Structures are given as C-alpha cells and as structure tokens.
C-alpha cells in the first residue's frame, strides 16, 4: 500500500507513556502541599498536555500567579519521585520501531518541558527513533498549531502528509488548527466521548488497534 503519511507526530504522556495517573496524583499532592483545594481527577486529567501556565490556570484556579513556581516545584518533586516506575504502554516501543523501519519520519509534540522530554526519551529507549520534537516550553501551548507547523517546516512535509496521534482534545484541536489529520487513543487522559466530538480519523482503545489502523491506513 502506498504511504499516506510521511510524518507521524506522537504526543507523549498518555499516548506512548502510561503516565496520566501519575500526573494527576502529582498535581493533587502539590495542591495539598500548598494548602489548596485538590482538583477532582477529571479536572486534573483535562490539563494533561497543556503548557504550564494554561494547565495551572485550569487545574488550580485558586492559585495566584505569584505562587506558580512554588506549585511547579512541588509538582516536579512528586512526579519525579516516581517517574522511574512509569512504563510505556504495551506495544508502544514495537510500534514506533515498526513505523521507523517503514520509512516514516517520526516526531513528538508534547506538553512536557524540554528537560522532561529528553529525560523520558533517554529512559524509554525511544530517543533514536524520533528525528525531531517540540515541547511546551519552546512553543505556544496546545491547541495552538505552532508545534506541528514547526515540525512540518523542519521536515518540509505538507499538512496532508502529516498525522498527529494523541490522547487529548488538545492534540486533536492542535491538529485541526494546523490542517493535519488526527488519530485519537482512548486509553489516556481524555474520555472517548470528548475525543469523538472532534471527529478524528479513528479513535482506538489500545496500542494494538492503533498499530493495526496505521498498517492499513498510514
């Protein structure tokens, strides 16, 4: 089958790495440290993938901007204390290797910081497969299209030859804003009902079905 997408861009947390629950727990623990109300799980999950400022404004609206750094420090303390326990979703490493072997250019567009993504790429062993990446501290936050726009420019690949894969509505809206097709995975941060409203090309329940869809359509 002829290749439909030359560039495939993955979100990281909740798409390749099973980290959504750890992110929620770290947000809630940081709030407890600062004597702030804990956001309920759905609210905390909603901000996964956003840039730091947007995430804090939504998850912890009571937090004054003067305390953002304090919140960030406590969040990082709790998240980094257990990030060594986090695992890639079953089949994710094999899928990435398969796509690279088939000649797709692979990239990451993530709400993580550059330091955080570099750490994750190294610890996961996937760094060698991704030719480029964009992070939330380098670009406008999702759903702004800057991350995808810059990646397409870097590879000189048109929007119609680019695919975004993610687990949140932020990913799908970023793809829409960049004129790029999107595929959603429903095993991450956002529920299937929210993802479906944005009409992705597909919404798959696990990495195995994602791999099958990509073999047939990508």
- Known catalytic residues are 11, 13
Residue 178 neighbours by CB under 8 Å, 6+ apart: 145, 148, 149, 152, 159, 162, 164
- Spatial contact of 106 and 151, defined as CB atoms under 8 Å apart: no
DSSP-assigned states of every residue in the chain = ---S-SEEEE--BTTTB--HHHHHHHHHHHHHHTT-PPPPHHHHHHTTTS-HHHHHHHH-TT--GGGHHHHHHHHHHHHHTTGGG--BPTTHHHHHHHHHHTT-EEEEE-SS-HHHHHHHHHHHT-GGG-SEEE-TTTSPPTTSTHHHHHHHHHHT--GGGEEEEESSHHHHHHHHHHT-EEEEETTSSS-HHHHHTT--SEEESSHHHHHHHHHHH-
- Cβ pair 19, 117 in contact under 8 A: no
Q: What would the two tokens of residue 115 be?
A: 């330091």
């Amino acid at each position: 089958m002829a290749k439909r997408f030359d560039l495939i861009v993955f979100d990281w947390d909740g798409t390749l790495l099973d980290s959504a629950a750890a992110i929620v727990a770290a947000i809630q623990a940081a709030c407890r440290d600062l004597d702030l109300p804990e956001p309920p799980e759905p609210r905390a999950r909603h901000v996964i993938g956003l840039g730091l400022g947007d995430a804090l404004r939504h998850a912890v609206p009571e937090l004054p901007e003067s305390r953002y750094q304090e919140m960030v420090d406590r969040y990082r303390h709790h998240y980094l204390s257990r990030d060594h326990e986090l695992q890639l979703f079953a089949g994710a490493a094999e899928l990435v290797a398969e796509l690279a072997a088939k000649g797709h250019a692979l990239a990451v567009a993530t709400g993580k910081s550059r330091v955080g993504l570099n750490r994750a790429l190294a610890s996961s062993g996937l760094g060698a497969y991704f030719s480029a990446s964009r992070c939330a501290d380098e670009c406008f936050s999702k759903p702004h299209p800057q991350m995808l726009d810059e990646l397409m420019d870097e590879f000189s690949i048109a929007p119609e030859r680019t695919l975004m894969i993610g687990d949140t509505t932020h990913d799908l809206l970023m793809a829409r804003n960049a004129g790029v097709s999107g595929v959603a995975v429903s095993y991450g941060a956002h529920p299937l009902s929210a993802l479906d409203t944005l009409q992705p090309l597909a919404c798959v329940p696990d990495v195995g079905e994602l791999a099958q869809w990509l073999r047939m359509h990508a």
